Amino acid sequence: MPMSGRKDTPREQLPDSPLAGALSLPRAGSDFGAIDADEAWIAVIRKMDETYAELVRQQVELEAKNTALEEAQGFIAGLLGSMTDVLVACDLSGRVEQVNLAAERAFGLRADALLGRPLSDLLDPSSETTAADVLATVARRQRIADREFTLATPDGPLAIAVNGALRFDPRGRAVGIVLVGRPIGELRAAYGALAKAHEHLKRTQQQLVHAEKMASLGRLVAGVAHELNNPISFVYGNAHAMKRYAERLIAYLDQVHAGADATALAKARGELRIDRALSDIPATLSGMLEGAERVRDIVADLRRFSSDRREAREVFDLAGVVRSAVDWVAKSQMPDLPITVAVPEGLEAVGHPGHIHQVMMNLVQNAVDAMEGRADRRLEITGARFETPDGLQVAVRVRDTGPGIPDALMDRIFDPFFTTKPVGKGTGLGLSICYRIAEEHEGRLEAANHPEGGAILSLVLPAAP
C-alpha cells in the first residue's frame, strides 16, 4: 500500500536495523504481493514493543544502580565524616584529591579550599617526614607505617602519627596514596594510661607475691617453731634437772670440804640422793646433747633451705627435703593426721634445695587444706627414680584424701591468682610459683586425681648423675 508523500525505497537500500525486516513491504508484481499489509504492521508493532520493554528494563537497572551508587557514596561520606583521624588522599604528584571532616577541622579550611593543593602546603617546615618522602615512598610502591608528620594548622604545628597506603583504580593501576593520621598527643595519652595501668598491675602483682611469700614464711616459722619446741623443751627440762643435781653435789661437797666425818657424809649422801644424781647425770647430759643436736640440724636445714643462691645448683637428697616439709607443715597444723612417707634415702636430684623445699611445703600445705573438715584424712608421699627418653629423673608424689580437683578446673590450677580456697585463705599464687620453680629446674609439676579419691601432685626433677 503506497504512503502519501513518500517514495518507495528499493530493498537494496533499506538500512540494516532490527526494524528493516518488519518495515520491508512486498514489491508490486513480486511473488509475495498477496501478503496482507496488516500482518506487516503487526510485526512492526511487536518489534517496537520488544524494543520498548528492553528500554524499560535497562532504565530500571540504571535507576537501581544509581540508587546503590548514591547509597555507597552516602555510606562513604558518613564514614569520612565520622572519622576522628585526619584523612588526606593525594594523586601521584602529591596534590590533594580528597579530605575528610577531621582534616577540615585540623586545617581550618573547607574541603574545596584544600583540594588541588600540594601536600607540601599542608606540612609544617619542621615536619620530620616531608612531601618528598611521601612521593618517594609512592614511587617505590611502598606503604607508610607509623611515620611522624607535623601539620601546619591555624593553632600551630600539630604532630600526628601517619599510616599510608597506595590507592588503585579498577584496573589495578596506582593512582595515588591515602594518608591517615592521629594526633600524637592522643596516642601519648593512651600509651600513658596503658603504662599507668600496667604499673598498677605490676604493683598489685608484687603485693600479692609478697603476701604469698609472707604466708609461706608464716607457715615456715610456725613449722620451725613446732619442730624446735620439742628439743628445746627437752633441753630445758634436762637443764633444770642438772641444776638440781648441781645444787645437791655442791651441798655434799661443802660438807666434804668442811671436814665432816664419815657418818655425817653418809647421811648427807643419802639425804641428797647423790648416788642417783650421779647415775642420772650421763643420761641427762646425753639427752641435752641430743636435743641440742636436733636444734642444730633444724637450724642448718633452715639456713640451707632459706639460701638465696639463685644460680647455685647442687646435688641434694629429696628425702630430707620431704621430711622437713612434712615436719614443719603437716605435723604442726594437723598433729593427728596419718602420714605415710615412702621416699627412699639417696633419692638425689640436682637443683636448689631451698626452692624445692618451698615447693614441697606448698604441696603439703595444699594437701592439708584440702582435707580440712573431712572424716577420712591421710597424707601419702612417695618418691621414685625412673628412666625417661629425656634421661634419668626422680619424682615425688603428694596424695591427699580431699575432694580432688574438678575436671573443669584441672587446666587452670597452675594459673596465677587462681584459687578455690575461701577469700582470705589463699592468694592463688602458691601453685603458680611452684610450677615456675619446677620449670626453672628443668622439671615439671603435674596434677591428677586418684582413682580412689583425692588429688595427686607430682614434682618431677632431673636426677643426680
Q: Within a domain: residue 254?
A: no
Asked whether the predicted pLDDT for residue 76 surpasses 70, the reply is: yes
What is the average pLDDT value for the chain, to the nearest integer?
81
Which three cell numbers mark 68? Answer: 546503590
Q: Decide if 138 contacts 145 (C-beta within 8 A).
A: no
Q: What does residue 82 show for φ and ψ, rounded to 5 degrees? A: -85, -10
Q: Within a domain: residue 92?
A: yes
Q: Choose the most confident range, by mean pLDDT, from 45-59, 139-153, 201-215.
A: 139-153
If one counts the domains in the chain, the total is 3
Q: Within a domain: residue 128?
A: yes
67 and 173, same domain (yes or no):
no
Q: So what's the pLDDT on residue 10?
A: 43
Q: So what's the pLDDT on residue 22?
A: 42
Kindly state the helix (H) or strand (E) to which residue 292 belongs, with its residue range: helix 274-305
Asked whether the predicted pLDDT for residue 210 surpasses 70, the reply is: no
Q: Within a domain: residue 425?
A: yes
Asked whether the predicted pLDDT for residue 199 surpasses 60, the reply is: yes
Q: So what's the pLDDT on residue 224?
A: 66
Of residues 77 and 385, the one with the higher pLDDT is: 385
317 and 437, same domain (yes or no):
yes
Q: Within a domain: residue 20?
A: yes
Q: Decide if 394 contacts 349 (C-beta within 8 A).
A: yes
Strand partners, 456: 399, 448
Q: So what's the pLDDT on residue 422?
A: 62
331 and 436, same domain (yes or no):
yes
| 444 CA to centre of own chain | 19
Asked whether the predicted pLDDT for residue 32 surpasses 70, the reply is: no
Question: Could you give the CA distance from residue 351 to residue 372 in angstroms, rounded to a whole number?
Answer: 32
Of the residues 52, 75, 98, which one is the last residue of a structural domain? 75
25 and 165, same domain (yes or no):
no
The amino acid sitting at 92 is L
Could you report the per-residue pLDDT of 410-457, keeping only the tens digit for each?
888 888 767 776 655 655 677 888 888 899 889 999 999 999 889 999
89 and 68, same domain (yes or no):
no
Instruction: Provide mean pLDDT across the span 22-31.
Output: 46
119 and 62, same domain (yes or no):
no
Could you report the per-residue pLDDT of 109-151, keeping only the tens digit for each?
999 999 999 999 999 999 999 999 999 988 888 899 889 899 9
Asked whether the predicted pLDDT for residue 30 surpasses 50, the reply is: no
Sign of the C-alpha dihedral computed for residues 406, 412, 413 and 419 taken in this order: negative
Instruction: Provide mean pLDDT across the span 332-343.
Output: 85
Asked whether the predicted pLDDT for residue 212 surpasses 70, the reply is: no
Q: Read off the CATH number of the domain in which 346 is found.
A: 3.30.565.10
Question: Beta-strand (E) ranges in 28-134?
Answer: 86-91, 96-99
Q: Within a domain: residue 350?
A: yes
336 and 377, same domain (yes or no):
yes
Contacts of 211 (CB under 8 A, 6+ apart): 427
Asked whether the predicted pLDDT for residue 193 surpasses 70, the reply is: yes
87 and 65, same domain (yes or no):
no
Question: Could you give the CA distance from residue 127 to residue 148 in angstroms, rounded to a whole number?
Answer: 8
Domain boundaries, position 136: 80-188
Asked whether the predicted pLDDT for residue 64 surpasses 70, the reply is: yes
Of residues 203 and 367, the one with the higher pLDDT is: 367
Q: Decide if 368 contacts 425 (C-beta within 8 A).
A: no
Q: Decide if 454 contacts 399 (C-beta within 8 A).
A: yes
Q: So what's the pLDDT on residue 28?
A: 46
Asked whether the predicted pLDDT for residue 1 surpasses 80, the reply is: no
Question: Could you give the CA distance from residue 125 to residue 107 in angstroms, rounded to a whole number?
Answer: 15
Which three cell numbers mark 319? Answer: 628425702
Question: Could you give the CA distance from residue 450 to residue 397 in angstroms, rounded to a whole number?
Answer: 11
Residue for grid cell 601521584: 92
Q: Decide if 387 contacts 349 (C-beta within 8 A).
A: no
Q: So what's the pLDDT on residue 5?
A: 40
Asked whether the predicted pLDDT for residue 399 surpasses 90, the reply is: yes
Of the residues 188, 222, 253, which one is the last residue of a structural domain? 188
Question: Could you give the CA distance from residue 328 to residue 379 in angstroms, rounded to a whole number?
Answer: 14
Q: Decide if 157 contacts 125 (C-beta within 8 A).
A: no
180 and 85, same domain (yes or no):
yes
462 and 320, same domain (yes or no):
yes
Question: Could you give the CA distance from residue 222 to residue 227 in angstroms, rounded to a whole number?
Answer: 9
461 and 330, same domain (yes or no):
yes
Q: So what's the pLDDT on residue 74?
A: 79
The 3-class SS string of 18-47 reads CCHHHHCCCCCCCCCCCCCHHHHHHHHHHH
Q: Decide if 343 contacts 383 (C-beta within 8 A).
A: yes
460 and 318, same domain (yes or no):
yes
Instruction: Provide mean pLDDT across the span 261-275.
Output: 85
Q: Within a domain: residue 258?
A: no
Could you report the per-residue pLDDT of 350-384, keeping only the tens digit for each?
888 888 888 888 899 889 888 988 888 999 999 99
Of the residues 188, 215, 246, which one is the last residue of a structural domain? 188
Question: Could you give the CA distance from residue 432 to residue 417 in angstroms, rounded to a whole number?
Answer: 8
Starting at the edge strand found earlier in the chain, the sheet holding 96-99 runs: 96-99, 86-91, 174-183, 156-168, 144-153
Full DSSP string of 351-380: E-HHHHHHHHHHHHHHHHHHTTT-SS--EE
Q: So what's the pLDDT on residue 220?
A: 61
Number of C-alpha atoms within 13 angstroms, CB side, residue 282?
Answer: 4
pTM of the model: 0.44
**Length of the chain, please?**
465
Q: Within a domain: residue 344?
A: yes
Of the chain, the percentage scoring pLDDT greater than 90 comes to: 23
Question: Could you give the CA distance from residue 42 to residue 52 in angstroms, rounded to a whole number?
Answer: 15
